[in-house]
Amino acid sequence: MMTTLYGILLILSVIIVIYMAQKNYDKISFNYWTLLILMPVIILGYYLKTTVTTIEGARIVMCFIYFDSTLLPTVLLFSILNLAGIRVKDWIKALVYGLAFGHLFLVWFTVNNKLYYEDIKLIDTGMGTATKMTGGPLRFIHWIFIGIVFVYIVVILIFAII
């Protein structure tokens, strides 16, 4: 059931990307297109996570899924700032995107040596494969990064409401 759901979401997200590309071809926004392209990749990662049969496959799929907690909140942050009319200097954008990609590369390069995940287990649930992971010593960096980005998003939304 879960694999079917992720498959349907993947097909719908690809159709939405194609539809939006047809409608907005004359007005290109970096944040908009980045969000639109990242969503099918993330949904595909979650879909593949429910179908993997090896631990190595689960590690590879997790690298794609980490787009949703590294790059996606960063793009969302700048999209909200752009929508609110707040101009962000280019060097700040470069720094934040550099940190997001650095964080992503940290995950990619340490996923195999037990620094990021100490243990990965696959559990067959009948609806797909569940992946159980035990965090390693570098996992706290992930939570610090996500915490900082989401605190900024919440602060911006509070200021927008006020």
pLDDT along the chain (162 residues), means of 10: 64 72 62 77 83 83 81 84 83 86 81 79 82 82 85 84 76
What does the pLDDT read at residue 1? Answer: 47
Whole-prediction pTM: 0.70
> Cα 23 vs. chain centroid, distance in angstroms?
25
| 3 vs 44: CA distance, rounded Å | 10
Q: Are 100 and 74 in contact (CB under 8 A)?
A: yes
What does the pLDDT read at residue 5? Answer: 67
Return all residues near 135 (Cβ < 8 A) that are at least 6 apart: 116, 117, 118
What does the pLDDT read at residue 4? Answer: 67
Q: Tell me, what amino acid is at 25?
A: Y
